Structure 1
Amino acid sequence: MADTFTAPAAPVSIYAEASPNPESMKFVLNSLLLSDGVSVDYPNLEAAANSPLAQELFNFDYVGRVFIAANFVTITKNSDLTWTHLIPELRTFLKSYIEANGPIFTVDPAAEQQAAQHAAATGDASEQDQQISQKVIDLLENYVRPAVEQDGGNITFRSYKAGVVTVNLQGSCSGCPSATVTLKSGIENLLKRMVPEVTEVVAEGITV
């Protein structure tokens, strides 16, 4: 289990990759921080209680949000400073922290994510709604999440009720100017086509 929480002590290379959100930058590593398909989103310092790495990143005054996935960290800034000035400092910090075998998490994010997803899909929903929820979750996991991760973010299922699917947008997707268009033109159309019971998709986490 230790390998899940702490990155291996080995030479680390990191490069910065722009995302559709101009306020977010994706830092891609050559080592794994999490199991594939697992990610965590920290919208503020208080939410990062279980991640020493995220807490350290919030010590930079200009860091407003931290998103950690399998092999990258997306950082959203809350400052007018340009990425040209910020990237070198953040890349140096991440490289040093991970090479020093700094702790990434204090609890297993995979277990938490699985429990949350199961609770969202079942809860007090009817058997039919549970089946529809599972179809939606499978589509999001297999078709939507990989594409969203490429842009430094993530999408998670929140609920299904009376035809309406609620999802949560994380990382660079939160606050992204194109998030609403992507949600309606891409994700909603896909789910409507594949799951006829779905009539609308709405999102938490859009802060445009």
Structure 2
Amino acid sequence: MKKLKGPVARGEELKKKVLAGLDKVRPHLVADGGDVELVEIDEERMVVKVRLTGACGGCPSASMTLKSGVEAQVRKAAPEIEGVEPV
């Protein structure tokens, strides 16, 4: 687990940060006929669980989209998050 400077967001504050990250990547997904949905934030593991929907749900590039797009933006908005997992 990485060490962060300052307080770590939890609860609604963390959810707002995660949603802000998802909102940054959402226009790119929508442009390709897909979207992303927040399913859960596991605060014990600091992992975000998301569902790619629409065209993104069955896309062969979904794992790359998840890591390079979704996870990158979520971790930028909420550095305390350790990772993003699909459900």
Report 1 or 2 for greater relative contact order, CA contacts < 8 Å, sequence distance ≥ 6.
Answer: 2
Aligned counterpart in structure 2 of residue 172 of structure 1, from 47, 55, 62: 55
RMSD: 1.5
CA distance in 2, matches of 1:154, 1:190: 14
Q: Is the 8 A contact 2:35 2:56 kept in 1?
A: yes
Partner of 2:20: 138
**After the TM superposition, which residues 23-172 of structure 1 pair with which residues of structure 2 at under 5 Å, given as runs?**
128-141=10-23, 143-162=24-43, 163-172=46-55
1:95-123 Cα deviation digits (max 9, x unpaired): xxxxxxxxxxxxxxxxxxxxxxxxxxxxx
Cα distance in 2, alignment partners of residues 144 and 186 from structure 1: 6
In the TM superposition, structure 1's runs of 4+ consecutive aligned residues that sit over 3 Å from their partners are: none
**TM-score of the aligned structures, taking structure 2 as reference length:** 0.79
Q: TM-score, normalised by structure 1?
A: 0.35
Question: Which residue of structure 1 lines up, in the alignment, with residue 70 of structure 2?
Answer: 187
| Structure 2 stretches lacking a partner, 5+ long | 1-8
Offset, 1:198: 0.6
Identity of matched residues, %: 38
Task: List gaps (5 residues or longer) in structure 1.
Answer: 1-126
Q: Is the 8 A contact 2:21 2:76 kept in 1?
A: no
Greater Cα radius of gyration, structure 1 or 2: 1
> Are 1:167 and 1:203, in contact at CA under 8 Å, matched by a contact in 2?
yes
